[in-house]
Chains A and B, each alone.
Chain A
Amino acid sequence: MKNRLKVLRAERDWTQAQLADELQVSRQTVNAIEKGKFDPSLPLAFKAARLFGLSIEAIFQDETEP
């Protein structure tokens, strides 16, 4: 699954640690999500969407979609 987490974080000039604090996860988890190595659960995706004020689809995209 692709995502725009890194771009959105950079736009706000946040570090991975700051984003991790906001999402209440470890910095390693934020790093793995940004790299597409770990897909977040729906509640965590909703939390990220609320934090950035966007819809889930605006942050996360299914790579199998046409």
Chain B
Amino acid sequence: MSDSKTRSDKWASNTARNTTRLRYWTFAWVATSALAAFGPKFIWDFATLPTILGVLVNLGVGFGMIIANKQYLQGLDEMQRKIFLDACAVTLGVGLVCGLSYELLEDIKLISYEPEIPHLIILMCLVFLTTTIAGHRRYR
């Protein structure tokens, strides 16, 4: 019993640690994205070396976030993992289908402005959030 209690404490603390780690990596990625996007204009006046470094650091932190996300997923229990993967599947599908249609709108002159990737990312975030909430409600 004490062995299993120790194992369950370890599982709970691992889950908490994975969540915290993913949170830190995500904040770091957002911060380095902002630095790479706005640094050239507002901090170092488009100097080449800091701009390249900014992008490389952003990419490196981005890969760190991907690994943290994978570890987070592996640490979830099987129902949480199913909800997460179902949400990922819907989000990927919506991103692919809507992204291509959105790009097509400009090609066939139904919209006059250039399609922007951030619009697609916002849509994918909303879809992931909605499907995750719906998944949790389904199994409540």
Contact = CB atoms under 8 A, between A and B. Distances in A.
Contact of B4 (A22, A38, A41): A22
B80 A38 contact: no
A45 to B, nearest CB: 11
Contacts, number: 44
A4 interface: no
Interface of B, helix, strand, loop or mixed by DSSP: helix
Given A31-B140, A38-B139, A21 B79 contact: no
Interface of A, helix, strand, loop or mixed by DSSP: helix
Nearest to B12: A21
A32 interface: yes
Contacts of B23: none
B11 to A, nearest CB: 4
Interface residues of A, number: 18
Which of A28, A33, A41 has the most CB atoms of chain B within a 10 A radius of its CB? Answer: A28
Interface in B119-140: 136, 138-140
A26 interface: yes
B78 interface: yes
A33 B4 CA distance: 20
B5 interface: yes
A47 B102 CA distance: 48
Interface of B: 4-5, 7-9, 11-12, 77-80, 82, 136, 138-140
